A and B are shown apart, each in its own frame.
Chain A
């Protein structure tokens, strides 16, 4: 009987090591929550900036005025700050989790995850810059959501499978957004803010909570 238990344990070990060596499972749920809060906050600031712009909007020569240039610059700066903040907090919480789990954050599986996330993201980035260069800003929101969703689905093979469903939801939101173009910011806030917070909480509940409780004992 005892021998049987040890064989079962061997199989469990094998399964666990196969999982851990091929997937990056140190990603923290808190990273998602932080990214979501920053995303919501940034959408709120964008909303303020845009409504201020529309107050001064005078129906004449909108596209080439200095007002529009200033708006573009402000929004671009906001987007860049949001990205840097979300990535830094995301990195911080994952790094913290790696310390608790006593594993390395930079290994073969995290590199693989990063590369696979980046392929659709870079394609999306180029696509969006191309649209901006053509003065086409209406589809930025949907493009962000759809390419981000594709990145998550592509990356899900190398981390928790759950982010695949987040990817599906982002693509769905982006696709609906295409038919409600004026509401890009709301869809953006829903996709990058609310969904991240909900998913972060689910992931934290499912994977991190247990480990944190063990390590604090």
Chain B
């Protein structure tokens, strides 16, 4: 799509999302985009991820909405049933709480409840994460709520290339997809994706091959896990790293193949620890490989508390590199 694109080009996740939405709008006439402030007159998105798109594709297809998540997420559900492929933006993940009915009672269930007569090919973009002292209602990772709801898929990219390919994959997927972006790493540069190439949902990626222990992460934890793996490598601990990318449905094949080899696993996420994705991954590994494991699967996550405001409290809330390292060493003991 972009002839001038070169192999060493670096872009950040905001640009990656912008490219993906631009390419999807160009390729599919039924893609429409809406959310608070997404159109150019309102700024082209709070972080400019949708900048230029309303000017390029028109106000009919790219619309800023009132601050009315229940209204416009429901409208996205209706438009999807009618054959459109809406991408609706919920500015921050905590705001899903005001439109959960449309997501979990409708988007996720209408295919099943209609006996397959209707489906909801909808993408809900949202972002979250600690690091900006935004306190208890602007920072939560709530993916487990949606993973616990059959019928919806959950995608959580960790780098610009995946963000691009997974966004195209999510838009082209026939199921409703919650697409969660990580706030603090938006501006991190990464390898540019190949334009036009979607990544199919449901496939994890081996980010680093290794033989001693499998570290499983997604979204923000994929910034931290490789750093710890390098530290451990100096001590001769060879970590294999899996980036889930699609958190639900889980790519158990990739996970189990890796753990069969390493016989040890640690799951790391920014969401709070209890009843989370880590618990599910851990349970499934134990169910499948209990007798082959050399140590119980470890979970590294944030504390079971609301996200606090003060800088030192926020730092104490989220796991540290030392926590990951300790968990790995525990499995090696």
Q: Specify whether A and B are partners.
A: no
